[in-house]
Structure 1
Amino acid sequence: MPADLTAILPDEKVLHKTEWNHLLGNNGDITVFPTTEEEISEVVRYASDHGKKISIIGGGTKRGFGGLSDSADILLSLSNYKGITEHTPGDMTVTVRAGTPFKELQSFLAQFGQMVSLDPSWPEYATIGGIVAANESGPKRLGYGSARDSVIGLRIVYPDGKVIRSGGRVVKNVAGYDMNKLFVGSMGTLGVLSEVTLKLRPLPACQCLVLLSYPEEMQEAMRTFSVQLLDSALEPVALELLNPALSKRLTGQKVNTLAVSFEDFEPSVRYQEEVLKKLVPEHVQMAILPEGETVKFWERFYTAAPNAYTRKPGSVTEASLKVGLKNLDVFKLMEMVAKSAGTSPEVHGGLGHGLSKVHLRGSSQDVLTMIEAVRALAKDLGGYAIVTHLPYAMRHKTEVWGEKPDYFFLIEGIKKAVDPHSVLNDKRYLGGI
């Protein structure tokens, strides 16, 4: 290890590269495990001063998301940089270190009857920093919004090692341009997220899940039903359509399934259940899950996507895509996927917000073919499709972020201004930034 880096971190916080590299890429010749913001800053400053590249990792759930370099000079792990630094229950805010696992944070907040209103995949491993850096959200985005909507303040270590603050620690910030939005979703290419301040919500007193299962020939009727539901006074936090393959995994029934989730005070939840019953078309099978079963369903749901820790490389290639469409075009995505072969697609899509996830498993060629088919459909429908999980070697065979948008010059300009030497997460983001 270079002498300058030895002076920054003790030996127990440094892991030298072994012969084995993770097949998802985004590795490092040296892995460092800082436990303070000062150590993070010093490591980044060292890299900037010595022309080194840094790759950032938290819980590793997004290791297969972007990245065209197999190994950086330094892999900066925030897995030991975790914990709550400030919690103000009365103001409904919490400030947390970026390496804190999402589930750990939620367990702490539950003691106060509060929660962060996000629902990422693999919450046991996913860290707050990674969730924010990727602007991750799940089906409950319909009711609660995305990571971008929950963040009210950030502390960021710039590529030159300087520490800056964006936003604040109170919900009402009126300090001009919202700099938080510059970093949320930037995939760690503009700075290392050190601390995140989030606004909170009360834990729902009651939650339930209504599962509506229907045969393929009733798709138009379910489309009409979805429009009626969205136009009604009902307030579901999720309105998620599951294709038969994913429904089989989660419910045991291989049919199209619409999952409608309510979270509120119990009288409100029960009232909405009764109103929903009156809207459901005939010949649609309806099941209302009690709270315990609802919790178990979502636990299964959030661990359905491919993940670096639980999926071992083998003969079957795994991939995931995030597809953004007009909300009711999710039905068209389901139609196209139903006709595919060879990739065992598991798909879910939000009929309220239009975001879908497509999980593929099959041969490398079949997976690549399906990625391009999904991307072509999304383009025809005026949407987009990005690959959020794919083995490193295959990320060189497709544009994981898709075509460069017309505004790419703005993103490129910001990157050059903030990180002119591409110190942080080089080639990890849109257009190879």
Structure 2
Amino acid sequence: MTNNHPSNTLATETIKPVTTDDLARIIREAAEQKRTVIAVGGGTHLFTAGKQFDLAIDTTGLTDGFHHTPADMTATVPAGMRLSHAQEKLSHNGQWIPLDPPDRGNATVGGVIAANRWGPRRHHYGTAKDWVIATTIVNGKGEIVRAGANVVKNVSGYDLNKLYIGSRGTVGIITDLSFKLSPLPAVRSTFRACYSTPEEALTTAAVIRSAPLEPESLLITKGRWTTLKAKHWWLLVELAGSEEGVTAQKETLSTTLEGSSANRWNEANNKDAAYYWETVRFGNGEASPLFGIAEISFPKSQAECLLALLIKSYPKLSLKLLPARGLAIVEIEEETDRSLFVNEITKIGGSIEFDCVEINSPSHRWPVEPAGISLMKKLKTALDPSGIFAPGTYVGGI
């Protein structure tokens, strides 16, 4: 058993393997004995549906095998390594994995990928599915399975990497990942503009997207994800790149914001910028226990409709919206009928994932099953025939 690790409260026994071969042997034995298994990294993005398991795998022992090839802009990273540690190592050569999930330093690389977590820079960089080029997993039979290749272009076979991203340990336990990398920007600059209505903020965001600008982050916030819990709507823009390139973009962005309907706007100093983005990632104060947090995916063309719906029905609203990606994170600070909320979102073509303490059922966390649920269940059976990996913790009860 490992000391002071989140896995200790989730299972009858905790094991901390240090190699992929060790893990494969453990899983083969668990499959033979029909023991249920939960994989736990830093425990920062864990969902167990309130269940207890026979065996917890502490993946933080899987830290060997880091390999960085700066010339190719690729790296292989063990799943148990903390993302912050991997980024620090890569930064010595001016590169990084362009993922910025909410993380105070405890999240493991494997956990971030298994949960498919993201942050405000998703606007420019997308998600792990855009950057993972190879994976090694141990499946439910205790077999070591490798997919992809440690090169940026690989056209052989199916892209199984995308199967594991966001699968939350239900089809296999990730042991290492290979990424294509991005250059670390030489400079970053943050602008913030205040608007009286969400329509004004959304209009300005559309103008920015059509301008000769390439923001690293572009989002609209209100409520708990702003530094001031006020009625106003805030547009946050982060520019990144070479000093010369960012200087030119700053001039264009300043002109755009000055010509918008913003009540006020400014370029933040480094200290304020860090505070703004910290608040965007982690919030200002505690989450409301009355509703929790909902992550909404919606057709990008429906952004204005979504905002109008939310404002009309839920005045006590906190929100962060990535209009270019069709994504919103919503919190409602009052008693709310979740089923009514779900119906309203699905009417505009949206899907929802809830995240709050009292949720202990996959049907509560993912209230609308995806169209491909039958295929997902078949893949689960193929990769985990004994059904030992985190049973009943994923969408559709997978």
TM-score by length of 2: 0.90
Match of 2:255 among 272, 275, 278: 278
- Which among 223, 229, 232 is matched to residue 255 of structure 1? 232
What secondary structure, in the 3-state scheme, does the structure 1 residue paired with 2:360 have? helix
Match of 1:53 in 2: 36
Which residue in the other structure is 1:390 paired with?
Answer: 356
Number of residue pairs matched by the alignment: 396
Q: Aligned pair 1:294/2:259, yes or no?
A: no
Could you tell me which runs of 5 or more consecutive residues in structure 2 were left unpaired when the two chains were aligned.
none
Show the counterpart of 2:298. Answer: 325
Q: Is the 8 A contact 1:102 1:123 kept in 2?
A: no
Q: Per-residue CA shift, 1:93-138, capped at 9, x if unaligned? A: 1111111111111111111111110111125122111111122222
For the residue of structure 2 that corresponds to 1:412, the secondary structure is helix
CA distance in 2, matches of 1:412, 1:239: 36
Q: Which residue of 2 aligns with 1:404?
A: 369
The SS at the match of 1:91 is coil
Distance 1:74 1:345 in 2: 40
C-alpha distance in 2 between matches for 1:192 and 1:416: 15
Deviation at 1:405, TM superposition (A): 2.6
Partner of 1:8 in structure 2? none
- Look up the match of 2:397: 432
Deviation at 1:332, TM superposition (A): 4.2
Are positions 1:236 and 2:211 aligned together? no
Tell me by how many angstroms 1:316 deviates: 4.3
Q: 1:162 and 1:287, CA in 2 relative to 1: closer, same or farther beyond 3 A?
A: same
1:6 is matched with none
Q: Determine the C-alpha separation between the residues in 2 that align with 1:44 and 1:233.
A: 52
Query: Aligned-pair distance for 1:407?
Result: 2.0
Q: CA deviation at 1:51?
A: 0.7
Question: Contact conserved, 1:79 with 1:99, CA < 8 A, in 2?
Answer: yes
Distance in 2 (CA, whole Å) between partners of 1:116 and 1:16 is: 26
Contact 1:153 1:196 in 2 (8 A): yes
Report how far residue 372 of structure 1 moved: 3.3
Q: Which residue of 1 aligns with 2:201?
A: 222
Instruction: Please say if residues 199 and 304 of structure 2, whose CA atoms lie closer than 8 Å, have aligned partners that are also in contact.
Output: no
- Whole-angstrom CA distance in 1 between matches of 2:134 and 2:214: 28
Q: Report the identity percentage.
A: 28
With 153-162 and 81-90 compared, the bigger mean Cα shift is at 81-90
2:167 is the counterpart of 1:167: no
Deviations 1:160-194 (A, max 9, x none): 11111100111111212111111111111111000
SS of the aligned residue for 2:378 comes to: helix
Post-superposition Cα deviations, 1:135-161, rounded to whole Å, max 9, x if no partner, equal 222221121110111100001111111
Q: What SS does structure 2 have at the residue aligned with 1:194?
A: strand
Report the 3-state secondary structure (helix = DSSP H, G, I; strand = E; otherwise coil) of the residue aligned with 1:352. coil
Shift of 1:223: 2.8
Taking the TM superposition and a 5 Å limit, the aligned residue runs for 1:366-385 are: 366=335, 369=336, 371-385=338-352
Structure 1 residue 383: Cα displacement: 1.2
Q: Provide the rounded CA distance (Å) in 2 between the counterparts of 1:32 and 1:301.
A: 36
Structure 1 portions without partners, runs of 5+:
1-10, 22-26
Aligned to 1:3: none
CA-CA distance at 1:335 after TM superposition:
4.3
Comparing 352-361 with 154-163, which one deviates more in the overlay?
352-361
Amino acid at match of 1:275: T
Distance 2:3 2:225 in 1: 41
Supply the distance in 1 between the matched residues of 2:305 and 2:105 (Cα, whole angstroms).
33
